[in-house]
A = this chain, B = another copy of it.
Amino acid sequence: MVMKVHGAVLSTAAMRVFATLYEKDLEFEFVPVDMGAGEHKQERFLALNPFGQVPAFEDGDLQLFESRAITQYIAFAYKDKGTPLLCEGKPMATVSVWMEVEAHQFDTAASKLQWELMFKSIFGMATDAAVVEENEAKLSKVLDVYEARLSQSKYMGGDCFTLADLHHLPVLTNLMGTTVKKLFDARPKVSAWAADI
């Protein structure tokens, strides 16, 4: 039975799961959730994720939600397929540290910038300049740490490309289409890493 991803194309969380499946060369069925029609808040979807957020994931009888839990499941369960995403032989704990950094340091600022500079214009809403300024300052500090980290190791989690890098991809790609790109461009190691991944 083929795996199923219930998601929406604009969802960066769903994109995180698609990117993992793509790296792993795995087939899956994409089940579109019509968020405009509120399908994610209806009983059928809530049975998959009680928080009513995309993505939700099925692999046989196993049902999961929360994008970063899904990517970790895929990386471990399909270890031998496609790109290795765990840097085997190196401490997994270091990969975990930088996965947490992505979730708690990078994503908090980056997602707000993505909302202000990309999604709001898609939805015809006005950008809040103060929110942009505040979060550009936060993201700059995070990227300063990344610049130092990437001077010591090729990837966030160590010598190899792992989920600690991949988890950045969807939001990072979207920010590259906005004025926030300048924050990446100003840091040589960070911008080489962003281009690489």
Task: Show the binding face of A for B, using Cβ within 8 Å.
Answer: 50-51, 62, 64-66, 68-70, 72-73, 76-77, 91-94, 96-97, 99-101, 103-105, 142, 145, 148-149
Contact = CB atoms under 8 A, between A and B. Distances in A.
Nearest to A65: B97
Taking the full assembly, how many copies of this chain does it contain? 2
Contacts of A51: 101, 105, 142, 145
A148 to B, nearest CB: 6
Contacts of A101: 51, 66
13 contacts: A50-B145, A50-B149, A51-B101, A51-B145, A66-B100, A66-B101, A66-B104, A68-B96, A70-B93, A72-B93, A72-B96, A76-B93, A103-B104
A72 B68 CA distance: 15
A100 B145 CA distance: 24
A91 B77 CA distance: 10
Contacts of A77: 93
A64 B105 CA distance: 15
B97 A69 contact: yes
Nearest to A68: B100
A104 B51 CA distance: 11
A91 B68 contact: no
Contacts of A70: 93
A114 to B, nearest CB: 16
A170 to B, nearest CB: 16
A100 B50 contact: no
A136 to B, nearest CB: 17
Contacts of A145: 50-51
Given A50-B148, A64-B94, A64-B97, 12 more contacts: A51-B101, A51-B105, A65-B97, A66-B96, A66-B97, A66-B101, A69-B99, A70-B93, A73-B91, A73-B93, A76-B93, A103-B104
